[in-house]
Amino acid sequence: MDADTFEKQKYVELFPQLQQAYKNAFNRVNERYDSTLVHGIDQQVLNESEPFYDAEDGFYLELPEDPYDRLTGVLVDEEKFEAVLEAYVDEIERELERAFDG
């Protein structure tokens, strides 16, 4: 996988693998953390994230600005939110590695 190929094809030829990677990550994180919080992060933060690939760093997500402020309808302190968001992003990045490099 190279950055240019991933960028050009991620929402076309690679989309099924991309969807599966996100689904696998969601299922894993949802098993470990409060499902209401995980769903909130998924629908209100990660829906605006963008996956990228870099030859040096591998797969990574760019998150929208102020992710905690985007979360509504879920009462959670910022520290817990950040911990769950970080775990979720890490899981997505691992799943992307598995899907496209593994």
Q: What's the confidence (pLDDT) of residue 47?
A: 93
Q: What's the confidence (pLDDT) of residue 61?
A: 95
Q: What's the confidence (pLDDT) of residue 1?
A: 74
pTM above 0.85, yes or no: yes
Q: What's the confidence (pLDDT) of residue 101?
A: 78
Pick from 100, 95, 101, 81: which is nearest to 40 by CA?
A: 81
Q: Number of C-alpha atoms within 13 angstroms, CB side, residue 13?
A: 7
Instruction: With cut-offs at 50, 70 and 90, classify the pLDDT of residue 43.
Output: very high
pLDDT digits (tens, 9 = 90+) for 51-99: 999 988 899 999 999 999 999 999 999 999 999 999 999 999 999 999 9
Residue 83, strand partner residues: none
**Sequence letter at residue 2:** D
Total domains present in the chain: 1
Domain assignment of residue 87, given as a range: 3-101
